[in-house]
Amino acid sequence: MTLATLKEVLQPALTNGYAVAGLVTLGWEDMRAYAHAAEAEGAPIILQAGPSCRAHTPLPVLGAMFRHLADEVSVPVVAHLDHGYTMQECREALDAGFTSLMYDGSRKPLNQNIEETAEIAEMAHKAGISCEGEIGFVGYSGGETSAGTDPEEAREFARQTGVDAMAISVGNVHLQENKEGGLDQERIDAIDAATDLPLVIHGGSGVPVEQRLYLARNSAICKFNIGTELRMAFGTTLRDVLAADPKRFDRVAILSELHDPLVDAARRVIRNFGYPGGA
């Protein structure tokens, strides 16, 4: 088994100047493709179960699926809870075999976010797994507006919570379908100077590929969450498969044709992050 904690894959990334892909999963077909893509690239991978994934599939089932995939490949695989909103949800993920908990208190006042995140981090560390927290709020394309991370607040958050990685808001947004934006380099540099933690970019699909690689090599950003970009690849491929033969109805036969294109799409994402031992 190559199951790993978040700390185990991000600390080498911080030291050696690369980032690890945190790939947002929605079901068996995509998570299997992502694990196989990581194997093909010879790179570690973080398989993430976010709120929409958990609404579809129970946490104990997701934990078993992630752990099964870690058994199938030879590269490190992190089983990561993405955007856990309650202690109960985080505890359930821990009990289900997840190796990393991301607690999202970013909508809450700073002191409350620190207090609750510290509690989750303590629980995770006692169980031998990792914890990611978020300071500043990462908004949504066409929805909630972001609140940028204050570097001094980030310093206090890192110091008081004991998290293993810290998600920041620096111009990134969730669910962005294009790469026309870019991250705030000045704010990133200030946060980087104020802390010594691996930093995380949520909403990584909207970050230009060139900036992803630059930041992976030249900053403490060690994890980019990628969801929308790969969901778009899934949807496009599925439409093509169905359009090729509108009379097809067998679900397994249809979905099996998505595997190789999804592997290719995920491999392209993984290559953006400068892993030195990759294919």
Decide if 277 is inside a domain: no
| pLDDT of 177 | 59
For 15-22, what is the mean pLDDT?
Answer: 97
Q: Which of 49-58, 141-150, 199-208 has the lowest mean pLDDT?
A: 141-150
In the numeric block, the tokens 């595997």 are attached to: 259
The Cα–Cα gap between 82 and 62 comes to 12
| pLDDT of 189 | 96
The Cα–Cα gap between 93 and 95 comes to 5
For 19-28, what is the mean pLDDT?
Answer: 97
| pLDDT of 134 | 97
For 21-35, what is the mean pLDDT?
Answer: 97
Decide if 278 is inside a domain: no
**Token pair in block for residue 103:** 């607690």
Decide if 110 is inside a domain: yes
| pLDDT of 56 | 93
| pLDDT of 129 | 98
| pLDDT of 252 | 93
Look at the chain and count its residues: 279
> Does residue 216 have a pLDDT over 60?
yes
Q: Mean pLDDT score of the chain, rounded to an integer? A: 93
- Domain harbouring 113, CATH code: 3.20.20.70
Of the residues 82, 104, 164, 192, which is catalytic?
Answer: 82
Percent of the chain with pLDDT over 90: 85
Decide if 230 is inside a domain: yes
In terms of pLDDT, which residue wins out, 148 or 264? 264
Decide if 249 is inside a domain: yes
Q: Active site includes 264?
A: no
Decide if 18 is inside a domain: yes
User: Are 174 and 139 spatial neighbours (Cβ–Cβ below 8 Å)?
Assistant: yes
Dump the DSSP string for the chain.
--EE-HHHHHHHHHHHT--EEEEEE-SHHHHHHHHHHHHHHT--EEEEE-HHHHHHS-HHHHHHHHHHHHHH-SS-EEEEEEEE-SHHHHHHHHHTT-SEEEE--TTS-HHHHHHHHHHHHHHHHHTT-EEEEEESB--BTTSSPPBPPPHHHHHHHHHHH--SEEEE-SS--BT--S------HHHHHHHHHH--SPEEESSGGGS-HHHHHHHHHHSSEEEEEE-HHHHHHHHHHHHHHHHH-TT---HHHHHHTTHHHHHHHHHHHHHTT--TT--
The Cα–Cα gap between 10 and 79 comes to 14
Q: What is the pLDDT of residues 72-122, one digit of tens each?
A: 999 999 999 999 999 999 999 999 999 999 999 999 999 999 999 999 999
Closest CA to 22 of 198, 181, 202: 202
Decide if 133 is inside a domain: yes
For 161-178, what is the mean pLDDT?
Answer: 85
List, in order, residues 6 or more apart from 30 with CB less than 8 Å away.
23, 230, 234, 262
pTM for the structure as a whole:
0.95
Decide if 161 is inside a domain: yes
For 44-60, what is the mean pLDDT?
Answer: 97
User: Are 97 and 63 spatial neighbours (Cβ–Cβ below 8 Å)?
Assistant: yes
Domain range for 259: 3-271
Phi and psi at 208, nearest 5°, equal -55, 140
User: Structural domain tally of the chain?
Assistant: 1
